[in-house]
Chains A and B, each alone.
Chain A
Amino acid sequence: MTALGGTGADRSRILRVSGPLVEIRCPAGVAMHDLIALGADRLPGEVVAIRGDRATVQAYEYTGGLAPGHIAEPLGTPLSVRLAPDLLGGVFDGLLRPLADSGDLLTTGGPATAASAGPSWPFTPRVARGSRVAAGAVLGEIGGRVPLRLLVPPGLAGEVGWVAPTGGHASDAVLAEVGGREVRMAQRWPVRRPRPVARRLPANAPLNTGQRAVDLLFPVARGSTVAVPGGFGTGKTMLLQQIAKWCDADVIVYVGCGERGNEMADVIEELGELTDPRGGGRLAERTVTIANTSNMPMMAREASVHTGATVAEYFRDMGLDVVLIADSTSRWAEALREFASRMGELPAEEGYPAGLASRLAAFYERAAAVRTLGGAAGSVTVIGAVSPPGGDRTEPVTAHTERVVRCLWSLDRELAYARHYPAVSWSESFSRDATVLGTAHARAGDPGWAERRGRVARQLASADRLADLVELVGSTALPPRERIDVLAGRLLREAVIQQNALSPADAYSTPGKTTALVEAALTVIDRCLELVDAGTAVDAVEAVDFTPLLRARETAAPAETAPVTAARDTVLARLEEAA
């Protein structure tokens, strides 16, 4: 076995194959995380351990047919992806290879890397020849639906030797020369290394997701982190898709990580059809989709979240607000576990490697509001789904994730079974951004925001508490004010918190409409309380038809408030009749 040196200095041979784990004879000079081309098909793999003269490689593709003695060629670079404006609107696998270029079935070898041709992008230079620029400086602007910029890449600085004139350029064309080096529109970056920034900024601007349960009760700031744990059937993917479609970020990076193929097909189709509420065009044109479904190679799933984070940072560096959605981080953690197990690592909880908590924390830390190298403000907000086995919130992935995120939108099976969507539990979710966002809303001219949120939360909690009692003694046994509290809980749930993803009017809600709905519900509740305090029979109040208020969220368009006010007035009038 000692004579397997290979033909060239860097050629090597495979020693062992066990699924995605491949061991090779390790030539000197091979570094951790270097890419290795395995076998005649040159399957990509990454060095994850070096022990003596053996290196362990995790293969990113199906390794069927690979045998000891086959060639392994170190490529000398870590796993890197090509970053370019044409990522927008595209669908890629976990290694950012375009899926549109592949056939009906994905076979090994994978899709080719992006063709250098492609559409031409309008470019306008913003620097003059001879000026001195540092890393992150804007060399020019790239037109398109989202305002993009050509930046001096990290690590480069110097004099502008040449810059391309205004006009259309292919995305792989050289557009400038800085410090004697060519700068292209398309750049490469290693996925496991966060892109550098000047500094982190406090995350204190709200990200409006368009989902009332979230914006009203558990808001998230731009540059913050969210975990969405929920058992199967609780509507995790649906909620994340709604946010991908309607939140007011500039760019969405959607990573389908070990999830369903039909679901990805659905996302891709819908994004291609829906019109962006912010400035027209297709939603797909500001979305990058990374699809690594559950039956695609598992280790590419491991890479896909890092790939997604790198793409998000690339757009962030242009001064954009980016939302990175990873569905589901549990499948990513399972890929880590699978490989750790094959490596023979000592398991920690439930077979997961001991490094799980730090790997999760490191991933969420790629979220930030930042001052970019070029001085612009940008952000990456990370929203990760978590799929706890058996709905068990104490399992390692959920438990470790909860500790590192700023917001938790916990999805509740009871709510989902009652077809209450989005099934965000108000008792088990949290938002550590709420206080700072209350200040932000007050500065932006809505001083009542924090108080309104508090009132809704209290009202829901009190209705929940009473619900337990009602189950025991029946609602008629409660005092009048408490019966109105039960009614108030129902009104808030059905008129405000619930949202119908399938209704064009209700699929998303602007801050204005959300406020109008909350105020309408609270006004009606207050009036009910006043009436029973003044002696009106509770039965009469309960018998009032509140339907107009319950339907207002679907009768008012996403940015409309007038129909909501009208519905409130109708119900108030009916209350007066009942009095």
Chain B
Amino acid sequence: MTASPPDGGVTRGGGTTGPVPVEFTGVRELRGPLVVVEGVSGVGWDEFATIVLDSGERRHGLVLEVDGDLAVVQVLEDTAGMNRAGTRVAFSGSPLRIPVGTGWLGRVCNGRGEAADGGPPVLGAASAAVGGAPINPVRREPPDEPVLTGVGALDVLTTLVRGQKLPVFSAAGLPHLELAVQIAAQATCGGEPFAVVFAGMGLTHADVAFVRDGLAARSAARELALFVNTADDPVIERMLTPRLALTVAEHLAFTEGRHVLVVMTDMTAYAEALREVSAARGEIPARRAYPGYLYSDLASLYERCGRIRGRPGSVTVLPVLTMPAGDITHPVPDLTGYITEGQIVLSADVQASGVGPPLDPLASLSRLMRKGTGPGRTRADHPALAAQLIAALARSRQVADLADLVGRSALSPADLAHLELADAFRRRFLAQGTDENRPLEDSLDRAWEVLLTLPRSQLGMIPADLLDAHAPAADEGAR
């Protein structure tokens, strides 16, 4: 029922589909984002509803529960200004569907999919239910090709793979939005058809301006669909925004054959909206008062990434979230980490050292990287190079801790070389401007340059032939 085939006719954007059928006026209760309507019949669970206020204003909602002749409806735009007497509710008879197609590309819409760029409503020849349908695990194609972001540290150390879900874990004050926009602006898939769907949730107006500005070129090239729910937009609408984005992305990928990168920021704002509805319903809270189904709900978004056997496109998901108080054990980053295939962690410590993007290379990990890198995908030396660099950085961190305690003079020559490596890593490799699109070749060569601050004997993870090619044995004598 969730993913019936395209129904042919032209559907209008913004969820205000079709004529309004029977209207019910028996509003019994208004509480938080919920309306309880009585006297209804034939209303199914998860149906889409249209609510008309006595002022004539239209709002939208989803059915959370039906019990006898009662229906509990969650109002996307909030219940402010609604009263019991003048509110009419009509049910659409099916879950929310939106038009899909390339018409979204180049457009800017609000969190409900209504045009926010002064243009006409987005139309599409086909429509799809926003809830999506799970991809059959047997029909999934395991991801094994890279998406290049032009951000050196990501491309080399935590390579994003087509069909992967890889979140950015950040904290307040760190430049995660800058990084997300840089990735969205620069990402490519080796010349194959590409598109970015960007879903912003709870962004400030300044943030929105920054996003629109940063992605203007991509939008002009009709490679971008932008959905933005601002911080002063209705909170509950945020629950819809990522679903719209993913529905549009799935169509672009699996029907239009594009590789689609979906950036969703900020997922913490999304989870807060979920918690608000849960609290209004009086549900039993789990960790930190988030609902017990937070894991499944996040999974219903993140798991929409992937590739399907026999179809050309892919959906890659890059959720961005801020860890409240920088706490990685907070339910939102924690449950996200359990669902996603790795994580990109931004660190206040690296930020303090003055280089950006402030990636923590040791806490960051792309689990699908080994399948998406190497000969024929990136470069033959890439996997071993990245593994060795990570191992060396891990040792550097230990040595730095040790140096703090016992002083540099107590360190062995190999330990001192690792301190140099950490320095070279920050200066030559990690540091990159937000407008610099660094080619992979350049990034890999810089990684070699950093690594070769160590003597050859410390590079045990790199096969001898690769070492010979990149580090002439003559160098060894000099060390």
Contact = CB atoms under 8 A, between A and B. Distances in A.
A67 B370 CA distance: 48
B296 A258 contact: yes
Given A63-B45, A66-B44, A471-B401, A108 B2 contact: yes
A541 B135 CA distance: 57
Interface string B135-147: 1111111110000
Contacts of B362: 417
Query: Of B3, B138, B283, which is in contact with the most chain A CB atoms at under 10 Å from its CB?
Result: B138
Contacts of B4: 107
Contact of A347 (B66, B135, B284, B343): B284
Contact of A64 (B131, B299, B300, B387): B131
Given A389-B331, A474-B406, A291 B137 contact: yes
Interface stretch (A11-19, A245-253, A310-318, A435-443): A11-19
A293 B134 contact: yes
A103 B362 CA distance: 40
A91 B284 CA distance: 35
A7 interface: no
A337 B286 contact: yes
Contact of A351 (B42, B284, B329, B391): B284
A451 interface: no
Contacts of B44: 17, 64-67
A265 B140 contact: yes
B365 interface: yes
Given A65-B45, A104-B136, A390-B334, A265 B142 contact: yes
A107 B4 CA distance: 8
A17 B64 CA distance: 9
Nearest to B254: A104
B53 interface: no
Contacts of A131: none
B1 A41 contact: yes
Interface string A86-109: 000001000000011011111110
Given A16-B67, A18-B64, A419 B391 contact: yes
Given A232-B337, A265-B141, A389-B287, A17 B66 contact: yes
Interface string A246-272: 000000000010101111111011000
Interface string B29-67: 000000000000111111100000000000000001111
A534 interface: no
A334 B402 contact: no
B24 interface: no
B1 A65 contact: yes
A419 B133 contact: no
Contacts of A104: 135-136, 139, 254, 308-309, 311
A350 B45 contact: no
Interface string B345-369: 0000000000000000011010110
A547 B460 contact: yes
Contacts of A529: none
A28 interface: no
Interface of A: 1, 15-19, 23, 41, 62-69, 91, 99-100, 102-108, 231-233, 256, 258, 260-266, 268-269, 291, 293-296, 298, 331, 334, 337-338, 341, 347, 350-351, 387, 389-392, 417-419, 471-474, 476, 502, 545, 547, 550
7 contacts: A18-B67, A64-B2, A64-B46, A105-B133, A106-B136, A108-B1, A351-B286
Kindly list the 9 A-B residue pairs having the minimum CB-CB distance in the complex, ordered from nearest: A390-B329, A294-B299, A265-B140, A295-B303, A64-B46, A232-B337, A65-B44, A16-B67, A17-B45
Interface of B: 1-4, 41-47, 64-69, 94-95, 131, 133-143, 163-164, 254, 283-287, 292-293, 295-296, 299-300, 303-306, 308-309, 311, 328-331, 334-335, 337-339, 341-343, 362-363, 365, 367-368, 370, 387, 390-391, 394, 401-402, 405-406, 410, 457, 460
